[in-house]
Chains A and B, each alone.
Chain A
């Protein structure tokens, strides 16, 4: 994977996009951005733009996939045709099917699925622009959308990747770093309890390096967790404000 021609970190330890080894790309999250969906979230993470929507709990289709004792969380990760430099053919490919599966499994851990037998909780994530780390962005946005939909859940999942480039352990790999780096480890976890709900790895790491990678990624998840909570708080403080304004208006009448 490593390419000698591409230098990803300079002598001062600065990466191609100007970040230090332990810096995240800028992240912004907004909850409640769609009208039809029961819950939604829009997230920008560096150049990544993802939108998540939640429908449910609702009747599960196909029927034979219903679980008589609990709800099923069905996540669908989908990339827009224009989200990548070479147009992607619309529809699921093997990669998005795999990501959808591990996202569903991760989210099922936090949702109180036993409260909704036979039901389905559908999570749709659309990647509108992709620039490395979309599965972490997708899972982070999906958690906020689930909370925005008022789905009973124990906590939210935060997700971030760390890896190795030019022999150095770094946080949140960018596009070039992902292509030319030596290892990438996407992590999804519940920061308050330390539960790991998603973990993948590709490349080459020693145990020592793995420890460093996880330390960085887990630390970042805590920061992202705060951003997710802030987005939800903003969402509910605005609705509260609107409600109060409505109440004021009524009094005047």
Chain B
């Protein structure tokens, strides 16, 4: 099953976009209302619920101990997964993650992993034998477009909220999950030569191309993902990266509060 959009809405959107306008009156590079709430899942080591307009996601971090990978014997392990549960949209079905959920999980994972957000060396208990495993589970509750940013922001906020449950596992006192960087993804959508930030569902459905850029607090690019069958040119990508830093900074500022 696919999301459907009526031709009349489609035409209306195209007409608006030609004049640089949007359905909800936002500017092209304006986010929807962003609301971040951390720490309200008591059973998780860290959690965050993010509302990006009507898109509603929750990310929970659970930790346990296990064996490290043979090639990184002194580092902890992070495992990311996303569930597009049938609650969130009439088009989602129960069952194993499909390709869209897999891409989402991998893009969020890439930002955190490549951005070296967690200091994995501090998650080593005994080299080559036992390390901390951090499970990052993303739960999509209401789907109104742009899951990449909603989940990326929620994942970052949940990690910042996390405590390593050392006491429960008998490894001394609990301590905050060691975080080195704050990576924020921003996703741009290209519709008829116009580039806009944070598409809601209707906009996402008529998008030609999508570009997610993850930046850290130093303004460095740590991950990118281009999606959909349309194209960007080189100048477009420069524009998106430039804006991603700016917008990332404003969201980082919001997270500090």
The interface residues of chain A lying within 8 Å CB-to-CB of B47 are 82
A80 to B42: give the CA distance in the assembly, Å.
Answer: 13
B54 within 8 A of A: yes
Cβ of A169 to closest chain B Cβ, rounded Å: 28
The interface residues of chain A lying within 8 Å CB-to-CB of B144 are 35-36
B232 within 8 A of A: no
Contact B96 A91 (CB under 8 A): yes
Contact B41 A82 (CB under 8 A): yes
The interface residues of chain B lying within 8 Å CB-to-CB of A47 are 42
- For A147-160 the 0/1 string (1 means CB < 8 A from B) is 00000000000000
- For A24-67 the 0/1 string (1 means CB < 8 A from B) is 00000000001111000000000101010101001000000000
Contact B81 A90 (CB under 8 A): yes
Q: Contacting chain B: which of A15-23, A121-129, A183-191, A221-229? A: A121-129
The interface residues of chain A lying within 8 Å CB-to-CB of B40 are 49
A102 to B41: give the CA distance in the assembly, Å.
Answer: 27
A90 to B102: give the CA distance in the assembly, Å.
Answer: 14
Chain B: which residue is nearest A78 at the CB level? B85
The interface residues of chain B lying within 8 Å CB-to-CB of A2 are none
Q: Sort chain A's interface into a size bin.
A: 20 to 34
Q: For chain A, residues 121 to 147, give those with C-beta under 8 angstroms from any C-beta of chain B.
A: 122, 124, 126, 128-131
The interface residues of chain A lying within 8 Å CB-to-CB of B139 are 80-81, 126, 128
B13 within 8 A of A: no
B60 within 8 A of A: yes
The interface residues of chain A lying within 8 Å CB-to-CB of B58 are 80, 128
A161 to B139: give the CA distance in the assembly, Å.
Answer: 28
A-B contact pairs, 7 of them (CB 8 A): A35-B56, A36-B90, A55-B90, A82-B61, A87-B62, A90-B83, A92-B94
What residues of chain A have their CB less than 8 Å away from a CB belonging to chain B?
Answer: 34-37, 47, 49, 51, 53, 55, 58, 76, 78, 80-87, 90-92, 122, 124, 126, 128-131
Closest 5 A/B residue pairs (Cβ): A82-B60, A87-B62, A81-B137, A82-B44, A124-B87
